[in-house]
């Protein structure tokens, strides 16, 4: 069982725990050892704790007092129904969930063959080595870009829309949209596969930007991504036709402001009735915190390789984690939904469309 470290209660006002500790006659250090492992029951009582890792590290763990199964706040969850993937599928199928928010990360793109440019051994990483980047992240730093845009455009050439095809996970979200049950998809990916799968741009929040549009770094003139394609593919730095400044695709660099649509989360998350989190480690802020932005009673489904974010440290009985390969997880959900046939039709049409586009 975890207790809140009383020495900082003054600032946190979590007096409930302070009273508890004094009632038990526990001193702050006696029999207590520190840990960063949070306790779900405590967290549900301190909602603000869910957002703040520093806050979490202030918990202390008591190895002697936790013997029983009862939590700090009494009672157990034995009589609470733990939601399952089947429950979620049923609620989607019966249209009880009509405002689904999806959050996705790189894990939904890797099945399309998108390389992780940070992984040594991936062709892209090796490609970038020739530019002598001081560190991998420099490629997304605006100051470095001004000094040397070549590595970024090498990455752009690799990721430019059209090089890769969306996979089953993208089409599943498209199908959710076609059925009128998608409220919004928040993606960390910059590969544009969501758009290629036919998810309309207004249903998308591309939190880390997009190659679909671009802006002159000098005069701020807007460009379409397609206008840059030829230069990018030929390995040239695209220049503004007005001022000859470098045109930068609208990918969000470190230190740059998030795109305006990102802030629609303020509207979307409070009215969402289901949150699906797919293929993300939920490590990059502020994206990661969004997972905690839905109402407490809202079902959250994680389809991911690992248990991450609030699913691991502030899980609710309405949370479902489908761990393992992301595509297999989505397939399982699709089968429970009975949407297999429709998804296959959609993917086939999408594939045909994509191959036509490529032939043009
Ligand atoms: Zn310009």
- Residue 15 marked as a ligand binder: no
In the predicted model, is pLDDT for residue 83 greater than 60? yes
In the predicted model, is pLDDT for residue 116 greater than 90? no
Identify the pLDDT of residue 158.
86
The closest of 352, 313, 286 to 57, measured between CA atoms, is 313
Phi, psi of 323 (to 5 degrees): -95, 150
In the predicted model, is pLDDT for residue 346 greater than 60? yes
Confidence band of 127 (pLDDT split at 50, 70, 90): confident
In the predicted model, is pLDDT for residue 89 greater than 90? yes
Q: Cα separation of 193 and 162, whole Å?
A: 9
241 C-alpha vs ligand 1 centroid, how far in Å? Answer: 7
Q: Cα separation of 83 and 104, whole Å?
A: 21
In the predicted model, is pLDDT for residue 167 greater than 50? yes
251 C-alpha vs ligand 1 centroid, how far in Å? Answer: 17
Q: Cα separation of 155 and 23, whole Å?
A: 60
- Residue 219 marked as a ligand binder: yes
194 C-alpha vs ligand 1 centroid, how far in Å? Answer: 29
In this predicted model, which residue has the larger pLDDT, 151 or 136? 151
Residues sharing a CB contact under 8 Å with residue 293, sequence separation 6 or more, in sequence order = 265, 269, 270
Share of the chain above pLDDT 70, in %: 73
Report pTM: 0.75
Q: Tens digits of per-residue pLDDT, 245-301?
A: 999 999 999 888 888 888 889 899 999 999 999 999 888 888 888 888 999 999 999
The closest of 105, 14, 112 to 291, measured between CA atoms, is 105
Identify the pLDDT of residue 39.
40
The closest of 147, 151, 146, 115 to 131, measured between CA atoms, is 151
Which one of 48, 147, 208, 317 is the catalytic residue? 208
208 catalytic residue (yes or no): yes
196 C-alpha vs ligand 1 centroid, how far in Å? Answer: 28
Q: Tens digits of per-residue pLDDT, 209-249?
A: 999 999 999 999 999 999 999 999 999 999 999 999 999 99
The closest of 288, 259, 105, 113 to 185, measured between CA atoms, is 105
- Residue 12 marked as a ligand binder: no
163 C-alpha vs ligand 1 centroid, how far in Å? Answer: 27
3-state helix/strand/coil string of the chain: CEEECHHHHHHHCCHHHHHHHHHHCCCCCCCCEECCCCCHHHHHHCHHHHHCHHHHCCEEECCCCCCCCCCCCCCCCCCCCCCCHHHHHHHHHCCCCCCEEEEECHHHCHHHCCCCCCCCCCHHHHHHHCCCCCCHHHHHEHHHHHHCCHHHHHHHHHHCCCCCCCCHHHHHHHHHHHCCCEEEEEECCCCCHHHHCCCCHHHEEECCEEEEEEEECCCCCEEEHHHHHHHHHCCCCCECCCCCCEEEEEECCECCCCCHHHHHHHHHHHHCCEEEEECCCCCCCCHHHHHHCCCCCCEEEEEECCCCHHHHHCCCCCEEEEECCHHHHHHHHHHHHCCHHHHHHHHHHHHHHHHHHHHC
- Residue 62 marked as a ligand binder: no
Structure-derived torsion over alpha carbons of residues 253, 161, 339, 272, reported in degrees to the nearest 10? 30
């Amino acid at each position: 069982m975890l207790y809140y470290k009383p020495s900082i209660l003054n600032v946190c006002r979590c007096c409930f725990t302070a009273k508890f500790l004094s009632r038990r006659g526990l001193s702050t250090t006696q029999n207590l050892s520190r840990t960063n492992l949070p306790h779900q029951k405590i967290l549900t009582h301190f909602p603000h704790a869910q957002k703040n890792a520093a806050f979490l590290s202030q918990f202390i763990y008591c190895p002697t007092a936790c013997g029983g199964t009862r939590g700090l706040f009494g009672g157990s969850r034995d009589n609470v129904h733990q939601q399952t993937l089947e429950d979620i599928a049923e609620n989607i199928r019966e249209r009880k969930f009509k405002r689904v928010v999806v959050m996705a990360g790189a894990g939904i793109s890797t099945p399309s063959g998108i390389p992780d440019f940070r992984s040594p051994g991936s062709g892209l990483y090796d490609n970038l080595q020739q530019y002598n980047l001081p560190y991998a992240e420099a490629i997304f730093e605006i100051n470095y870009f001004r000094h040397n845009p070549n590595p970024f455009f090498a990455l752009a050439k690799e990721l430019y829309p059209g090089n890769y095809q969306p996979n089953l996970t993208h089409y599943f979200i498209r199908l959710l949209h076609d059925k009128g049950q998608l409220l919004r998809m928040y993606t960390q990916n910059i590969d544009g596969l969501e758009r290629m799968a036919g998810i309309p741009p207004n249903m998308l929040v591309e939190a880390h930007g997009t190659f679909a549009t671009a802006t002159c770094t000098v005069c701020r003139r807007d460009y379409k991504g397609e206008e840059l394609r030829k230069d990018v593919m030929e390995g040239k730095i695209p220049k503004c036709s007005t001022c000859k400044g470098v045109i930068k695709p609208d990918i969000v660099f470190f230190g740059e402001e998030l795109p305006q649509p990102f802030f629609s989360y303020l509207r979307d998350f409070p009215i969402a009735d289901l949150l699906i989190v797919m293929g993300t480690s939920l490590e990059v802020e502020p994206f990661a915190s969004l997972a905690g932005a839905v109402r407490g009673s809202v079902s959250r489904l994680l389809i991911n390789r690992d248990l991450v974010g609030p699913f691991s440290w502030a899980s609710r009985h309405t949370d479902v984690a489908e761990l393992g390969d992301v595509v297999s997880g989505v397939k399982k959900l699709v089968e429970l939904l009975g949407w297999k046939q429709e998804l296959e039709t959609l993917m086939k049409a999408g594939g045909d469309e994509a191959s036509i586009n490529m032939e043009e």
